[in-house]
Amino acid sequence: MGRVTVRRPVRRISAAGERRRPDSLAAEEPLELRVGGKALAVTMRTPGHDVELAHGFLLSEGVLGSREDVAVARYCDGVDDQGRNTYNVLDIALAEGVAPPDTGVERNFYTTSSCGVCGKAALDAVKLRSRFSPAASEFTVKTDVLTQMPDRLREQQKVFSSTGGLHAAGLFTSDGQLVVVREDVGRHNAVDKVLGWALQAGRIPAPDLGLLVSGRASFELVQKAAMAGIGLLAAVSAPSSLAVELAEENGMTLIGFLRGDSMNLYTGDQRLLT
């Protein structure tokens, strides 16, 4: 449980010659998420912070709105060929009165580590409406604070430093303090983990926080931020066209290509102070 790296032998070949040595790889294992004993989704993730991942996933799908909506989360069933628990099956029991996921939340087969909306049972279930309006967020941040955030995020990417194979997400305050950072092979899983942390900490909705991601800003990441009431999403790489459209529709600030001392501001000028 919690194994995030795996050591494997590698044959290193370069212009200077070749040699054999051990290499650290980011671990990737399936996690089956169940709600009330019913299988809901399978995602390929980096083990660790699985309960946060489940809370964040269910928040971003509109199932949860607070930590009180979950009665208990427990590992179950999954065993290896020696009968040991693999910790790859997690069951969430909802609190009394909390409605179970709609059928549209169910994922056909599995969700890959790179796509947060793959396998949606119905196309009209892809676009969700948040119970926490991100447009109401009064979060603001200065440009000179924001340009420091990618380096601060990288400093806390301990597993990335040894493997080079993980995405990261972090929630930060207007003065540049990172309150939580999580890594995962899947960018959407990393976001689910930080949102799950916030939900468990009683910080959802999060109009006072910004979300920073180490890769690109896709539609599903904007959607997840919106479902948590977050008004600003900043990405080190590019946004997609649909991500920009969704951010604009939800009154969010979307920033891309946050590198060095520059960035691209696509929507929501009012939250960025120059």
The catalytic residues are 115
- Give the CA angle between residues 128, 215, 257 to the nearest 5°: 100
